[in-house]
Structure 1
Amino acid sequence: MSEQKPSLTRSNSFPSSDDSHSSHSSSHGSVKTFRSQISAVVDNEEWHEESMCIVIIGASGDLAKKKTYPSLLKLYEDNLLPSDTIIWGYARSKKTHESLRAHLKPYLVKVCGSELVVDGFLSRCYYQSGSSYGDIEAYGAMMKEAEAMESSFINPNDGQKRRCNRLFYLAIPPNVFGDAGTAIKETAMSISGWNRLIIEKPFGRDLESCDLLSKQLTGLFEEHHLYRIDHYLGKEMVQNLLIFRFGNAWLEWMWNRNAIKAVILTFKEPFGTEGRGGYFDQYGIIRDIMQNHLLQVLTLLAMEPPIEADGPTAADHVRDAKVQVLRAMSTLTLDDCLLGQYRGYADDETITNKQTNTPTYAAIHCKINTPRWSGVPFIMKAGKALNERKCEARIILRDAPGSSFLFPNRPQLPPNEIVLRLQPNPTVYIKTNIKHPGFDSQPVQSSMDMSYSSKFDMAKDYNNPDAYTRLLLDVMRGRQASFVRDDELRRSWEIFTPLLHKIENEDIMPVLYEQDSRGPAVADDFVEEKTGYVHNPGSLPGVEKHLQNIQLSAL
């Protein structure tokens, strides 16, 4: 279907910094100032002066309408897309350009306060349907129209046609990656600019399926084309880990087995499968959260300093350091694992196997066999239908030497902890022991914290961009550090596959736990056995309440 292409010059298509939606300011700084700063960075990069065709495969699906298109809208709103950008959607659903725009608009107006901006963005969005995700004829028709649009993109400085870059987002199931990849390779690759593919998880369900997917993709594309996206790597606190670890002199000397007793990574969701049990039951909590999201955070916490941590050439240095951690990890066994399932899980009508043993909770003990971490247990915990929403990394320090002798007739002092909270409100706090105020000399625990919401205005997009928005910009800039490399992915499956096959082949049943709880009652015993750490909810009155209030104030 053909349509008149709207004017795509920057002056007509992009709101200027004087427009009402971008000129407001706050006590934390000017939005306009920020946007001019970030724009100045990308304005000096070649890709931003070239044209771009973005192709979203699976454009009619949930991921596209809830994440991909809204993230592109935010980049458009902030002048971070090239002035000559077009966005083509492809799927099997029968839609027109206009029906796609009507389908997307309710989701876009939720993330942008200006309907004018939304309409300007949608004017760049087009649609092509096909009989399958590998329909060569349909891809060819789409790219014929896209190329006609690209031919009109002229550089005003020299009168020459702009170089055409292409970004492909595969928002589709992994079983059709190969079909879509083949169609893209045959019909859609740019011959004048770069080509990059974003691939969504799951990247397989075990080592064998991972190898099959990798074989399909690497038979068509080179590694520099592929961006395997894990949105956790785009979260603010995860992005902060490298600076936090390697940019603070007081921290590096203690970031090892001499000072650290254990590391606990926790992911908690306060809801169950909610009608998505049929999908979740094929994967379980280990594949859904631990083999990817939490393992990525673990590698950043445990890695050695990379040669380069930031910049256009840092990607392989960072990923080399992460792979070294994975290669030093022991393969997981059943003894390393506690499995749980919330009561009522199988009542989800989309779950066909009512005797399912799929875990909705797991605690896993990981060992990293390097001089830095030898003997330090790393625990990953993740669960659904728990008592709160939270994701954090808790670094537990060794006990204060001689404390039981120095403070006789007192309870054992709890260990100091460094806590990095990823969500719901990014926060860094240190739990430390002090004397109870007043005449009493009872030791109690308090905290020193740096909440992002108390330091920065996190309600503003420029301080808290969505993870997908951040990662999409990285793809356009050719920065692969926050994306999963092939050897990194394969090694992660080598670590987890034996455990997953053991659970499934031997029908290992999980421990039942109540919904809206902390998980299985035996979970604390498991963690104490593996780490020596005793769950410590108690602290100076007000510490945990203070952190809760910070979370509430950020909502």
Structure 2
Amino acid sequence: MAGTGLRFRQGAIFFSGAHAAAHPRTRTPHHHCSPQRTHDARGRCRLTAKSANGRPQISASFRDVAIDGAQSEDGAPEQGGSTVSITVVGASGDLAKKKIFPALFALYYEDCLPEHFTVFGYARSKMSDEELRNMISLTLTCRIDQRENCSDKMEQFLKRCFYQSGQYNSEEGFSELDRKLKEKEAGKVPNRLFYLSIPPNIFVDVVRSASRTASSQDGWTRFIVEKPFGRDSESSGELTRNLKKYLAEEQIFRIDHYLGKELVENLSVLRFSNLVFEPLWSRNYIRNVQLIFSEDFGTEGRGGYFDNYGIIRDIMQNHLLQILALFAMETPVSLDAEDIRNEKVKVLRAEIRVQFRRVPGNLYGRRSRSVGGGGTTATRELEKATNELVLRVQPDEAIYLKINSKVPGLGMRLDSSDLNLLYSERYPPRSRRLRALLLDAIEGERRLFIRSDELDAAWAIFTPVLADLEANKVAPELYPYGSRGPVGAHYLAANHNVRWGDIS
């Protein structure tokens, strides 16, 4: 095989790898299938799916098993056992209203939440329980499928939603939240998840107040933290140190929404479950790997944010670097979250050189204004025919392999054809990004969350680049809005005898 090209694009991930004996955990809602249920030596629930030949394919360990007993309509459990309380801090914000509460409802609608659960909103705004429910109801939909009883499910979910107002640095506010949580937990073993849907400059205030007055004394307490995780190595390290004054590392779930995308998670399956790729997964057969993040809209409404953070901090240091780590890591000794994250850290700590010479600056025109005229794209025809494996993450999820075949007729003329899996044609549409990560946090599955040493290693790569850009006042290479990007990027690829993949 001559020069295999592997591409990831905005919407595309590509991954393949080694031993097919290992398979990543796949969660299947229990109303869709009934995998065999067993227990390990510690009594934890394990789900095992089998292939057509009867051999185990997937083994999953869920730390938090299904909860026994009944629950009343107002969310209070009726008998012993344990319960899960989910508190959305910053409940009146756009992220909570548009993403978090709808994701929680989707999990409830799919019967993926524990039987005993309660949802609380916490914010500075004065609001009653009923006002919170009215606000949430405006964004809840049943677009998941065409099942019946949607309105009944919605009503049942809203009855489990409550509100507590308070300042983010107020121990009194979180103490009152603790009192209300205990009322709903009704003597059961309490497990508590806090989703910090707030600006990063108040993360530590909330964690300090909540950990001191609203932590579970008998169950687990976890905090989901949204990016950005600092601006550079120094600020990121300071944030981590401050969080760890009040929390253990295993309590902190640093969320990257991009890792919850279906095809990002499918990357591991493609690599470990398809032996056809294993012997080719090396530098001997892979000419280049491209991560293409292209958008057809500008920075409208986000201009202030991008002026402050820029695309390197917003996209490259986290989303794309995480995918690179998944692509390049060695096969983990197991699919335990810590083993996977250990291998990712090894990749990030290896000698990754960010070539700065002749690289266009931030690769976008400020506030999306078209600057300068068009130009001819510099490309170089490759003498060897190539194969490309592409994972398109969004839009229109797809996996396809470009192969070379003979054009029918006389003579020997080659053409490129696609072997493809189009998700829209093969699977029903599902939006799973945030709800999958929420369910992972509830179950204690950390595989798709970022550990502190991963974060340190990622910033160690890009902090020198950012410092160099700022110290030398490197101006971004501007390009016309709606074009394929700066001409310099195509020259850069041509210098290495490759060309950018088609992003259509």
How far apart in 1 are the matches of 2:364 and 2:151?
Answer: 43
2:79 paired residue number: none
Of 114, 117, 121, 1:89 maps to: 121
1:495 paired residue number: 461
1:48 paired residue number: 66
Deviations, residues 399-455 of structure 1 (Å, cap 9, x unaligned): xxxxxxxxxxx9834311111211212222111212222235322211211222333
1:147 to partner: Cα distance: 0.8
Q: Which residue type is aligned with residue 98 of structure 1?
A: E
2:50 paired residue number: none
1:136 to partner: Cα distance: 1.1
- Report whether the alignment pairs 1:299 with 2:321: no
Counterparts in 2 of 1:68 and 1:190: CA distance versus 1, 3 Å: same
Of 152, 166, 173, 1:138 maps to: 173
1:515-554 to 2 correspondences below 5 Å: 515-529=481-495, 531-535=496-500, 537=502
Q: Is the 8 A contact 1:331 1:496 kept in 2?
A: no
Of 287, 309, 317, 1:283 maps to: 309
1:204 to partner: Cα distance: 0.6
How far apart in 2 are the matches of 1:316 and 1:80?
Answer: 24
1:504 paired residue number: 470
Q: Is the 8 A contact 2:190 2:216 kept in 1?
A: yes
Counterparts in 2 of 1:76 and 1:38: CA distance versus 1, 3 Å: farther
How far apart in 2 are the matches of 1:322 and 1:341?
Answer: 27
Q: TM-score, normalised by structure 2?
A: 0.80
Deviations, residues 458-497 of structure 1 (Å, cap 9, x unaligned): 32xxxx3411111111111111111100000001000000
How far apart in 1 are the matches of 2:337 and 2:299?
Answer: 35
1:200-279 to 2 correspondences below 5 Å: 200-279=226-305
How far apart in 2 are the matches of 1:116 and 1:38?
Answer: 31
Please identify, of 412-421 and 59-68, the stretch whose mean Cα deviation from structure 2 is larger. Answer: 412-421
1:188 to partner: Cα distance: 0.6
RMSD: 2.7
Q: Is the 8 A contact 1:35 1:78 kept in 2?
A: no
Q: Is the 8 A contact 1:90 1:129 kept in 2?
A: yes
How far apart in 2 are the matches of 1:192 and 1:306?
Answer: 33
1:333 to partner: Cα distance: 5.0
1:405-554 to 2 correspondences below 5 Å: 412-455=383-426, 457-459=427-429, 464-529=430-495, 531-535=496-500, 537=502
How far apart in 2 are the matches of 1:411 and 1:192?
Answer: 63
Q: Is the 8 A contact 2:90 2:96 kept in 1?
A: yes
1:43 to partner: Cα distance: 12
- Report whether the alignment pairs 1:70 with 2:112: no
1:91 to partner: Cα distance: 1.0
How far apart in 2 are the matches of 1:269 and 1:517?
Answer: 10
Counterparts in 2 of 1:426 and 1:283: CA distance versus 1, 3 Å: same
SS state of the match for residue 164, structure 2?
A: strand
Counterparts in 2 of 1:336 and 1:54: CA distance versus 1, 3 Å: farther
1:128 to partner: Cα distance: 1.3
1:174 paired residue number: 200
Of 20, 30, 34, 2:32 maps to: 34
1:340 to partner: Cα distance: 4.4
Structure 2: segments with no counterpart, 5+ residues? 1-27, 38-44, 48-59, 68-81, 371-380
SS state of the match for residue 51, structure 1?
A: strand
Q: TM-score, normalised by structure 1?
A: 0.73
Counterparts in 2 of 1:33 and 1:526: CA distance versus 1, 3 Å: same
Q: Which residue type is aligned with residue 124 of structure 1?
A: R
How far apart in 1 are the matches of 2:315 and 2:203?
Answer: 21
1:386 paired residue number: none
Q: Which residue type is aligned with residue 533 of structure 1?
A: V
Q: Is the 8 A contact 2:299 2:368 kept in 1?
A: no
How far apart in 2 are the matches of 1:43 and 1:344?
Answer: 47
Q: Which residue type is aligned with residue 532 of structure 1?
A: N
1:236 to partner: Cα distance: 1.1
How far apart in 2 are the matches of 1:336 and 1:330?
Answer: 18
1:336-351 to 2 correspondences below 5 Å: 337-340=359-362, 342-343=364-365, 345=367
How far apart in 1 are the matches of 2:339 and 2:327?
Answer: 15
Deviations, residues 310-358 of structure 1 (Å, cap 9, x unaligned): xxxx01100001001101133535327322454461779xxxxxxxxxx
How far apart in 2 are the matches of 1:340 and 1:45?
Answer: 43
1:115 to partner: Cα distance: 2.6
1:191 to partner: Cα distance: 0.8
Q: Which residue type is aligned with residue 180 of structure 2?
A: E
1:126 paired residue number: 162
SS state of the match for residue 281, structure 1?
A: helix
Deviations, residues 216-249 of structure 1 (Å, cap 9, x unaligned): 1111111111111111111111111122112222
SS state of the match for residue 447, structure 1?
A: strand
Deviations, residues 250-302 of structure 1 (Å, cap 9, x unaligned): 21111111111110011111111112211221111111111000111111110
How far apart in 2 are the matches of 1:54 and 1:343?
Answer: 41
How far apart in 2 are the matches of 1:33 and 1:55?
Answer: 26
Structure 1: segments with no counterpart, 5+ residues? 1-29, 152-160, 349-409, 538-543, 549-555
The alignment covers a number of residue pairs equal to 430
Deviations, residues 44-65 of structure 1 (Å, cap 9, x unaligned): 8644312111111111111111
Counterparts in 2 of 1:247 and 1:526: CA distance versus 1, 3 Å: same
Q: Is the 8 A contact 1:331 1:498 kept in 2?
A: no
